[in-house]
Chains A and B, each alone.
Chain A
Amino acid sequence: MIKSVSVAALPVAENLIIQKNRIENNAGPACKRVCVVTGTHGDELEGQYVCARLAKILNKEKQNLSGIVDIYPALNPLGIDSVTRGFPMFDLDMNRIFPGSPTGLVAEIAANDIIRDIEGADMCIDIHSSNIFLREIPQVRVSEQTAAELLPYAVMLNVDLVWIHASATVLESTLAHSLNTRGVKTLVVEMGVGMRITENYCKQLVDGILNMLHELGMWNGHIEQVRKPLVSKDYRIDFLNSDAHGIFIPSTAHGSHVNAGDRIGKVIDPLLGTLVEETLAPCSGLLFTLREYPVVFGGSLLARIMGDSKNG
């Protein structure tokens, strides 16, 4: 059943409508509810296919579901519609305004409506797809302060990596933080790249979501064997930023294993035809982030490697 989560009038004969699809079966008062949300950043589209595929499977085999799955494919519909990362007209990152306010501006009211709609759910999966610059392997990101509680759930999602990151005050205004502080266990998934759909990753995550529903006692249908993710706290992570400007040409496939000293890519100058910088792996490990967008400035992130050795 399609429901409107938030509605606001735009200037000329149109409403901004944030919708969800509620799929339910045997939904008694004590039943469990899982929310799958995506599209906070209008240029991140991997979640679109995840939502579509999940809805299709759940609708087809509704008899195997017990409880409620709410699917929110577009928290920022105007952004998705206009290839805009932020919330159009406000020029702001929607994932920096949660929990919003019932009396604020449209973007803040929308954020508040979303929070109030999800509140009370048992789990929320917030799907992001990096940005247009970087490609990521499927991963769950959790903050240090929520890691102990969320890690047992993160490993259910069939991702390759669980990245536990430091808490920062500025991240207190994300959807995930707002929901976690309200008792909704929220997992942030990052995978793929902006403006594209990576079908294999989407299928992998849908398998993970079905597995999680199964573990929560909500799904009796078919499930796949899920992979066991690497957990970042056990390994060193190296960030490779460019120190030069130019065009980045990768020479190693994303998601592959590299050895220390391997060439990951190069930065070249097309005007002069010269090599500006070589990007070498500082350690052996998994190339889990790789730059997709070729133009780089000094400081642009080119790659991230998770080392093989324990904090080595």
Chain B
Amino acid sequence: MDKNIIYSIKSLYRESMDIVGYTFGFGEHSCCVVGALRGNEIQQMAICAQLIDTLKRIEENGGIVPGKSIMIIPCANNYSMNIGKRFWPMDNTDINRMFPGYEQGETTQRIAAGLFKSIKDYVYGIQLASFYREGEFLPHVKVMDTNCRSRETYESLTDFGLPYGLIRTPQPYDTATLNYNWQVWGCHAYSLFSNYTDHIGRQSTQTAVNAVLRFLVIKGIIKWALHRGMHTRVVIESLIKNVQTSRAGILKKHVAVGDEVAEGDLLCEIIHPLEGNTIGRIESPVDGTVFFSYNKQLVMEHTDVFNIIPFSYA
């Protein structure tokens, strides 16, 4: 294992923030895994940390295929993480909205540029991503449906052995993300979503670590005994049903992520926040699997509280 500082930035009264890349193997830049870009992506960093710990063992056992190399960057934003902030400490900008970056630009543009320079030439790129909505997901991997996407990128969605593979039509704001720019640069880019963001789930960490290792095995980058994982169902993201609140108040959920529900099943109630009576009941619009569950106690009107993947799209 090789440990290198990819980019470093200094603030007035803090130790320098060094973005460290851990490299395994030599030769072709085969796969790069990027963890936390935001200060609350704790699970994403922890997944990388466990991945590095496992890859050390794999390397000791001669499991890195000769001529292949892997780089893991567990955290590119320790300044935010250390003060419990999601975005950049000073100006609240999001590094994952700054790609491909600009070396002469503002601080987070410079960080993105410094990072991207070191990671853009990998064959495969995996970002451990988080969603802006607070809640719990079923683990899945996502690709952007860009013109630059090759058939291989799409087909490799199933190589992670996660239960779901999503295909997303990019929105204007996606064009400044790492995933999008990786793809524009010719890298096969994936965003891997774990169950949580600011909470480390032991099982979900292991699931994500195994998914990355499985991908590396299938792509011939490492040799390691690992079970095949799950059958991946590939889903067009826009076909997922958003279930929204029509009332505001206290959210009382009756189902959890991973539950299978039938059309008409009670998903949640909205309770009057001052008087305690039920003011809203939300039923499932389809037969399907609960894919995302919002985890705040208070909800406003029009909040997406569940995402349900229908069993069929008929």
Q: Given contacts A170-B175, A297-B9, are A109 and B302 in contact (CB under 8 A)?
A: yes
Contact between B106 and A173, CB atoms less than 8 A apart: no
- For window 95-138 of A, CB contacts with B under 8 Å fall at 96-97, 103-106, 109, 131, 133
How many Å lie between the Cα of A297 and that of B304 in the bound state?
Answer: 38
The smallest C-beta distance from B130 to any residue of chain A, in angstroms, reads: 12
Contact between A9 and B92, CB atoms less than 8 A apart: no
The smallest C-beta distance from A176 to any residue of chain B, in angstroms, reads: 13
A224 at interface by CB-CB < 8 Å = no
- For window 6-28 of A, CB contacts with B under 8 Å fall at 8-13, 16
Which residues from chain A contact B301 at a C-beta distance below 8 Å?
8-10, 106
Interface string of B2-25 (1 = CB under 8 A from A): 000000011111000000000000
- For window 77-110 of B, CB contacts with A under 8 Å fall at 86-87, 90-92, 97, 104-110
Contact between A10 and B10, CB atoms less than 8 A apart: no
Pick out which of these stretches binds chain B: A47-55, A66-74, A238-246. Answer: A238-246
Contact between B105 and A247, CB atoms less than 8 A apart: no
A269 at interface by CB-CB < 8 Å = yes
Chain B binding surface SS class: loop
Contact between B304 and A105, CB atoms less than 8 A apart: yes
Which residues from chain B contact A241 at a C-beta distance below 8 Å?
104-106
Contact between A106 and B273, CB atoms less than 8 A apart: no
Contact between A8 and B300, CB atoms less than 8 A apart: yes
How many Å lie between the Cα of A247 and that of B12 in the bound state?
Answer: 8
Pick out which of these stretches binds chain B: A86-94, A152-160, A183-191, A280-288. Answer: A86-94
Which residues from chain B contact A85 at a C-beta distance below 8 Å?
92
Residue of A nearest to B248 (CB): A9
A220 at interface by CB-CB < 8 Å = no
Which residues from chain B contact A8 at a C-beta distance below 8 Å?
248, 300-302
A259 at interface by CB-CB < 8 Å = no
A169 at interface by CB-CB < 8 Å = yes
Interface centre among A10, A90, A103, A271 (most CB of B within 10 A): A10
Q: Given contacts A12-B274, A300-B106, are A106 and B303 in contact (CB under 8 A)?
A: yes
A295 at interface by CB-CB < 8 Å = yes
Which residues from chain A contact B12 at a C-beta distance below 8 Å?
245-247, 269-271, 295
Q: Given contacts A245-B11, A269-B12, A298-B107, are A173 and B173 in contact (CB under 8 A)?
A: yes
The smallest C-beta distance from A62 to any residue of chain B, in angstroms, reads: 36
The smallest C-beta distance from B49 to any residue of chain A, in angstroms, reads: 25
B249 at interface by CB-CB < 8 Å = yes
CB contact between B106 and one of A104, A106, A301 (< 8 Å): that residue: A301
How many Å lie between the Cα of A11 and that of B303 in the bound state?
Answer: 11
Residue of A nearest to B270 (CB): A11
Which residues from chain B contact A11 at a C-beta distance below 8 Å?
248-250, 273, 298-300
A interface residues, tally (CB under 8 Å):
41
How many Å lie between the Cα of A300 and that of B93 in the bound state?
Answer: 12
Which residues from chain A contact B110 at a C-beta distance below 8 Å?
298-299
Interface centre among A92, A104, A106, A171 (most CB of B within 10 A): A106
CB contact between A299 and one of B86, B107, B247 (< 8 Å): that residue: B107
Q: Given contacts A11-B299, A133-B91, A170-B175, are A300 and B273 in contact (CB under 8 A)?
A: no
Which residues from chain A contact B276 at a C-beta distance below 8 Å?
none
- For window 286-307 of B, CB contacts with A under 8 Å fall at 298-304
Which residues from chain B contact A247 at a C-beta distance below 8 Å?
12
- For window 257-277 of A, CB contacts with B under 8 Å fall at 269-271
The smallest C-beta distance from B304 to any residue of chain A, in angstroms, reads: 6
Contact between B175 and A245, CB atoms less than 8 A apart: no
Residue of B nearest to A98 (CB): B172
How many Å lie between the Cα of A271 and that of B108 in the bound state?
Answer: 25
Which residues from chain A contact B90 at a C-beta distance below 8 Å?
295, 297, 300
How many Å lie between the Cα of A10 and that of B273 in the bound state?
Answer: 11
A308 at interface by CB-CB < 8 Å = no
Which residues from chain B contact A270 at a C-beta distance below 8 Å?
12
A172 at interface by CB-CB < 8 Å = yes
Interface string of A43-85 (1 = CB under 8 A from B): 0000000000000000000000000000000000000000001
Residue of A nearest to B298 (CB): A11
Which residues from chain A contact B238 at a C-beta distance below 8 Å?
none
Q: List 7 A-B contacts (CB under 8 A).
A: A12-B298, A92-B132, A96-B172, A295-B12, A299-B106, A299-B107, A299-B110
A-B pairs with lowest CB-CB distance, top 7: A299-B107, A11-B298, A9-B248, A9-B301, A172-B172, A299-B110, A297-B107
Known: A89-B300, A298-B9. 9 other contacts (CB 8 A): A11-B250, A103-B244, A105-B244, A169-B175, A171-B172, A172-B172, A297-B90, A299-B106, A299-B107
Q: Give chain B's interface residues, CB within 8 Å of chain A.
A: 9-13, 86-87, 90-92, 97, 104-110, 132, 171-173, 175-176, 244, 247-250, 273-274, 298-304
